[in-house]
A = this chain, B = another copy of it.
Amino acid sequence: MKTILKTMTPAVQIEKADYKVREESLRIRLLALQKDLAASDRAILILMNGVEGSGKGETTRKLLEWLDARGVETNAFWTAQGEESEHPPLWRFWQKIPARGRVGIFFGSWYTQPIIDRAFKNISKEEFERQLGEIRNLEEMLIAEGVILIKFWMYLSLDAQKDIAKARKAKAATRWRISSLARKFARKRKRFQKVDLEVLSQTHTTITPWTIIDAASERSRELAAGETLVEKLRQALHPTGEIQLQTRPRFKVAARNYIADLDQTKKINDEEYKEELARLTARVATLSDRMSTSKKSLALVFEGPDAAGKGGAIRRVIAGMDPRHYRVIGIAAPTDEEKVRPYLWRFWRNTPRDGKIHFFDRSWYGRVLVERIEKFCTENEWQRAFGEINDFELALTEAGVTIRKFYLATTQDEQLARFKDREITPYKQYKLTEEDWRNRDKWHAYEAAACDMFANTSTAHAPWILVEANNKNHARIKVMRNVVEALEEALA
């Protein structure tokens, strides 16, 4: 495992005068590159990791001194608190992903909690490795989305750590720095070292390498950090013919047309509908109230062609619910703050916290439906989206979010009939636009894309439920029954 340390930038003695010269040159190059970055479609994310006393703070301070601080945002992450703890562990990091053109520094990162949990044996080896796998996927995705990821590890040998701790104890001015937590950690130094090296080894990939710096000498540590930043920025912004590393999408073409297989003759008559709807509404009311005070939450995705009845189905589900407990999120074009961040950011902004139920009227699946068909994204982008979305949904599920995804399917004839009805019914006219007619021309392309979507993203924890929607009564009751089941399962 110690082989990973062979990649480390060693600590070297640097004279003050020499340091000054190199610092000056570094700063000029950094500012110039930061200006190029601001005009580019890339963002930098720096993860600042390392043991207590390794100078993470001092190095960050230096970087901020060298850079134009207005383009940088530093975020410190400790234990998740308040709303943070009512979301998946990755949520708080997602909220702070830097926008294009900007620099984000994460002080303490997604590595911190798994390392602590593993060092204190709060989690099993399997869970630890699952979390590292999750991190690897996240990092690959960020890089594919154009984020320049720089992972610093400030390394100190056990002896160096002990020396620093001793020096700190001796120095009155810094004695207050030694918190009881730090003392608790200090007793586990060896154990931490072992876990650290394990993490470094397992998450050092060609695409997401670590930059390990020997932190024993302050000047060489700071210059190494600065030089690395310059080099990574230069490579990313002014590539000299290197081959761009790209992740290979995990993607399979659907084997059959699931939508054509649906039995669209399924019907529920009005009397039975009314009775069953009343029963289910009451059930949803009771269960959603119970959920509101629990640590569980629910994400309900609604997809399907125009006029398939997504809105109507949602309206029936919310009818019995307390408006404080749910949100209906209509997904339209992204805002400019959303456009300058990785694709999934705008959905991570809208994941339900504990107790809440979120309805997505269209969703992150836009990537593999409308964006794929209208060519709003590249082939690589929509193909890798399947894996990214599965990771996203798994992260939610692991954190207590139950997910159900409804695809409301009508036949082409039924859609035409509904469009015509919308044209003549006053309070429905607002729903029909030119675009709806245009999308209709691409019916088969959308159907094929939807089938690929089912084949690639219907998982045990986040299944697709195909709803025969030619008969509205049937569709609504089927949705309601599945929502009730999902609530029961979540609260069981």
The 0/1 profile, CB within 8 Å of B marked 1, for residues 67-82 of chain A is: 0111111101000011
Binding site for B on A (CB under 8 A): 27-28, 31-32, 35, 57, 60-61, 64-65, 68-74, 76, 81-84, 105, 107, 311, 314-315, 318-319, 321-324, 327-330, 335-337, 359, 361, 426-427, 430
CB-contact partner of A83 in B65, B82, B319, B335, under 8 A: B82
CB pair B65–A315 under 8 Å, yes or no, is yes
CB-contact partner of A330 in B71, B82, B322, B323, under 8 A: B71
Q: Identify 8 new A-B residue pairs, CB closer than 8 A, beyond the known A65-B318, A336-B337.
A: A32-B426, A60-B323, A61-B323, A69-B315, A70-B330, A81-B83, A82-B83, A83-B83
Contacts of A72 in B (CB 8 A): 328
Contacts of A70 in B (CB 8 A): 311, 328-330, 361
Distance between Cα atoms of A178 and B454 in the complex (Å): 45
Q: How far is the CB of A109 from chain B (nearest CB, A)?
A: 13
Distance between Cα atoms of A440 and B29 in the complex (Å): 29
Question: What are the nearest 6 A-B pairs in CB distance?
Answer: A82-B82, A70-B330, A76-B324, A69-B328, A28-B427, A60-B323
Contacts of A76 in B (CB 8 A): 324
Contacts of A71 in B (CB 8 A): 330
Interchain residue pairs with CB less than 8 A apart (29): A27-B427, A31-B430, A32-B426, A32-B427, A32-B430, A57-B323, A60-B323, A61-B321, A61-B323, A65-B315, A65-B319, A68-B311, A68-B430, A69-B318, A70-B311, A70-B328, A70-B329, A70-B330, A70-B361, A71-B330, A72-B328, A74-B323, A82-B83, A82-B84, A83-B83, A335-B336, A335-B337, A336-B336, A336-B337
Distance between Cα atoms of A359 and B74 in the complex (Å): 13
Q: Which residue of B lies closest to A86 (CB)?
A: B82
Contacts of A57 in B (CB 8 A): 322-324
CB-contact partner of A81 in B82, B323, B430, under 8 A: B82
Q: How far is the CB of A307 from chain B (nearest CB, A)?
A: 15
Q: Which residue of B lies closest to A310 (CB)?
A: B70
